[in-house]
Structure 1
Amino acid sequence: MTISGVEHLVDAYIDHLTVERGSAANTIASYRRDLLRYRGFLARRGVTDLRDVDEGAVRDFLVALRRGDPDNGMPALADSSVARTLIAARGFHKFAAAEGVVDDDVAHAVRPPTPAQRLPKSLPVDDVLAILDAASVPEGPRALRDRALLELLYSCGARISEVTALDVDDIDVEHRAVVLRGKGGKERIVPVGRPALSALDAYLVRGRPALIKKGTPALFLNIRGGRLSRQSAWQVLVDAAERAGIDKDVSPHTLRHSFATHLLDGGADVRVVQELLGHSSVTTTQVYTMVTVNTMREVYATAHPRAR
């Protein structure tokens, strides 16, 4: 195996991402999977040395990702998956060039496809309220926990992982706020509405003491007294939506989308919503403004006598 051998370099690049870049385990797994797909593509073309790869080969890989290759067990991928896989290949070539293994970064000019922008799904306010009410049934410590959990998700627009990671001390009742830890460990302080605080108070007084079995700072507990998992919290929402008769697909992100959309519908500034959601760029948040504009178009089209 030469120093420029594809297999050797894939391992070296993964080590680089793990040790020097400190990439998350999920990111490493994703890159490894994508690069194994790229390595297999090159091997089928008889290429084992990265110095033999040119820009045309990288573009052919892009085409193969989009069209698929059933003969080699390679299904056609959605644009989002194609983009992710090509980004991994581009990073791989950039690494090889930076290390001096190859003279040029031949993948630099090959651009991934832009995935079609999908508008986030949100629920009407009445549907959200129905789900929150359904979380309180049947009564008991778990119902108090479930109501507090869902109230907090909707009140703060938090990610499910942010809420399940909360400790009791992260809730500031006096200032009606909560400390959320988002992606990359970034902290933000988000206000909490009175209904959510009321649900949290009921849970802390009558629910959590009945669930706790050992000392733990975790706010939301499972029936064994440990921290509630992300998967279990997700199931809480699914069960409540089913009891509420909501026939749409509902996930924790649905509540997050609803939080953002309802704020913008109510006149909130998009930059304030950006801070509340913990988005690093306002561009990410602006997709929600498209939702409200589309809603206005629908209302206009059905209500205005000269709309058609």
Structure 2
Amino acid sequence: MELFFKYLQYEKRFSPHTITSYQVDLQQFQEYLKETYHLEDIKEANHAIIRSWVVSLVQKELDSRTIHRKIASLRSYFRFMVQRGLAQNNPTLRIKAPKLAKKLPAFIPEDTFTQVLDQGDFPNTFKGQRERLILELLYGTGMRLAELLGLKISDLSLSASTLKVLGKGNKERILPLNTSLTAVIENYLSLRQTAFPDNNSSFLFVTDKGEPLYPKYVYRVVTKYMGMVSTAAKNSPHVLRHSFATHLLNRGADLVAIKDLLGHASLAATQVYTHNSIEQLKAVFEKAHPKA
């Protein structure tokens, strides 16, 4: 199993967060094997055993997306085992996952983020401007949480108003920066240099001790400031990414351009945002059209 996790890390270039999810999923399946079938080795699992595990997950009323992810983790593991000659067959091939309920991406209204900046307390200190820059980069570029935390100072090209991001599958993309966001970055870099004159960390975001920033901190920042103006049940970094894409589409941006900005591998992943735009069009129609 350790070989598999190293394969995900070094060959597939998965994020630490994704690898942790795989570890949790496989560990849970291993515990199910021990408790239910008294088996120690995952390789001993067959189609019937895996199917019974999936049924048990459904009976626990887990979200269908969570079940899909767990099945995907197991599929990847057995595929790896067969490829390396460590198993003769993949018992997950005929496993069917429960149907996914269509779920539209959550997003905030266009004026909400402006309210966050207006109402939020962002003192001109290293910490204050770090929190502001976290919010502005997430909403202003649509980057993922892992991409934000992986940003290096060398990825910035302020003279060209661009930013290099290392996305999923180790794929690089260049994102544009508007004038106001560039100014926030310049101010943050100045305060960072003052706070840590001898810090050689290459990461753009560091903690108060000068160490690389961690996911929970970003979640706390987003929840803290978005909670001031939004009653949404889930205020997360990914909601700002969804909002970035939805607002661009609402203002007439090309879907292919949004795909490239988000770093999606295919247009199908980006098309989900068109549903949100259609819902907005319906609302405008019902409000404004005399025959609505």
Q: Does 1:112 align with 2:106?
A: no
Q: 1:65 aligns with which of 54, 57, 63?
A: 57
* 2:37 aligned partner: 43
Matches within 5 A, 1:137-286: 137-205=122-190, 207-216=191-200, 217-242=202-227, 244-248=228-232, 249-286=234-271
Q: Which is worse superposed, 162-171 or 117-126?
A: 162-171
Q: Is the 8 A contact 1:34 1:85 kept in 2?
A: no
Q: Which is worse superposed, 211-220 or 154-163?
A: 211-220
- The C-alpha deviation readout for 1:74-130, integer Å capped at 9, x for no partner, is x3322122223333444566567774865x655422221232122111111211111
Q: Is the 8 A contact 2:112 2:229 kept in 1?
A: no
- Structure 1 position 175, deviation (Å): 1.2
Per the normalisation by structure 1, the TM-score is: 0.78
- Structure 1 position 47, deviation (Å): 11
- CA gap 1:86/1:150 in 2 versus in 1, 3 angstroms: closer
The answer for unaligned runs of 5 or more in structure 1 is 1-13, 68-74
- Separation in 1 of the partners of 2:139 and 2:45? 53
- Separation in 1 of the partners of 2:146 and 2:254? 26
- What residue identity is the alignment partner of 1:131? V
1:108 match: secondary structure: coil
- What residue identity is the alignment partner of 2:97? P
Percent sequence identity is 27
- What residue identity is the alignment partner of 2:198? K
- CA gap 1:132/1:43 in 2 versus in 1, 3 angstroms: same
The answer for unaligned runs of 5 or more in structure 2 is none
Q: Does 1:17 align with 2:4?
A: yes
RMSD: 3.1
- Separation in 2 of the partners of 1:296 and 1:157? 23
- CA gap 1:33/1:130 in 2 versus in 1, 3 angstroms: same
- CA gap 1:190/1:51 in 2 versus in 1, 3 angstroms: closer
Higher relative contact order (CA 8 A, sep 6+): 2
Q: Which is worse superposed, 109-118 or 172-181?
A: 109-118
- CA gap 1:132/1:87 in 2 versus in 1, 3 angstroms: same
Per the normalisation by structure 2, the TM-score is: 0.82
- Structure 1 position 297, deviation (Å): 1.7
- Structure 1 position 140, deviation (Å): 2.9
- Separation in 2 of the partners of 1:235 and 1:168? 23
Q: Is the 8 A contact 1:41 1:61 kept in 2?
A: no
Q: 1:81 aligns with which of 32, 53, 66?
A: 66
- What residue identity is the alignment partner of 1:36? Q
2:54 match: secondary structure: helix
Q: Does 1:304 align with 2:289?
A: yes
- Number of aligned residue pairs: give it: 282
Q: Which is worse superposed, 134-143 or 122-131?
A: 134-143
- CA gap 1:20/1:266 in 2 versus in 1, 3 angstroms: closer
1:188 match: secondary structure: strand
* 1:8 aligned partner: none
Q: 1:33 aligns with which of 7, 15, 27?
A: 27
- CA gap 1:158/1:97 in 2 versus in 1, 3 angstroms: closer
- Separation in 1 of the partners of 2:3 and 2:34? 21
- Separation in 1 of the partners of 2:125 and 2:101? 45
- Structure 1 position 284, deviation (Å): 1.1
